[in-house]
Amino acid sequence: MVGAGAAGLAVVEHARKAGLRPLLVTDGPPGGDCTFTGCVPSKTLLAAAAEGQDFLHATHRVRVTIEQIAATETAEVLREQGVDVVEGRARFVGPREIDVDGDRHRGARVVVATGARPALPPVPGVEEADPLTSENVFDLAAQPDRLLVLGGGPIGCELAQAFQRLGTEVTLVEALPRLLSGEEPEASQAVLEALGEDGVEVVLGEPAVRVERRGDEVVVVTARREVVGDRLLVATGRTPTVDLDLDAAGVELDDRGYIATDDRLRTTAEDVFAVGDVTGRATYTHAAYYMGYLVASNLTKKRGGASYDGSAIPHVTFTAPEVARVGMSEAQAARRGGRVAYLPMSEVDRAIIDGAPEGFVKLIVGPRRLLRNAGGGRVLGATIVAARAGEMIHEPTLAMRTGMFAGRLAQTTHAYPTWSTALQKAAAQFFTEVDGRRARRAES
Taking the C-alpha atoms of residue 409 and residue 439, their distance in angstroms, rounded to an integer, is 14
Proportion of the chain in helix, strand, coil states, percent, rounded to 5: 35, 25, 40
Topology match between the domains 6-31+73-118+239-299 and 127-236: yes
Q: In this predicted model, what pLDDT tens digit does every residue of 7-32 receive, in sequence order?
A: 999 999 999 998 999 999 999 999 99
- SS3 string, 68-81, reads HHHCCCCHHHHHHC
Within 10 A of 266 (CB to CB), how many other CB atoms are there?
18
Residue type, 304: G
CATH code at 321-437: 3.30.390.30
Q: In this predicted model, what pLDDT tens digit does every residue of 197-223 receive, in sequence order?
A: 999 999 999 999 999 999 999 999 999
H helix intervals, 5-121 = 6-17, 32-36, 39-50, 55-70, 75-80
CATH architecture of 127-236: 3-Layer(bba) Sandwich (3.50)
| Distance, CA of 419 to chain centre | 23
- SS3 string, 81-99, reads CCCEEEECCEEEEECCEEE
Taking the C-alpha atoms of residue 18 and residue 39, their distance in angstroms, rounded to an integer, is 29
Domain definitions of the chain by residue range: 6-31+73-118+239-299, 127-236, 321-437
Q: What is the mean pLDDT of residues 270-280?
A: 97
Task: Give percent of the chain with pLDDT exceeding 90.
Answer: 94
pLDDT bin (cut points 50, 70, 90) of residue 305 is confident
Our CA dihedral for 128, 149, 159, 174, rounded to 10 degrees, sits at: -130
The structure's pTM equals 0.95
Taking the C-alpha atoms of residue 258 and residue 241, their distance in angstroms, rounded to an integer, is 8
The top-level CATH class assigned to 6-31+73-118+239-299 is: alpha beta
Taking the C-alpha atoms of residue 336 and residue 398, their distance in angstroms, rounded to an integer, is 21
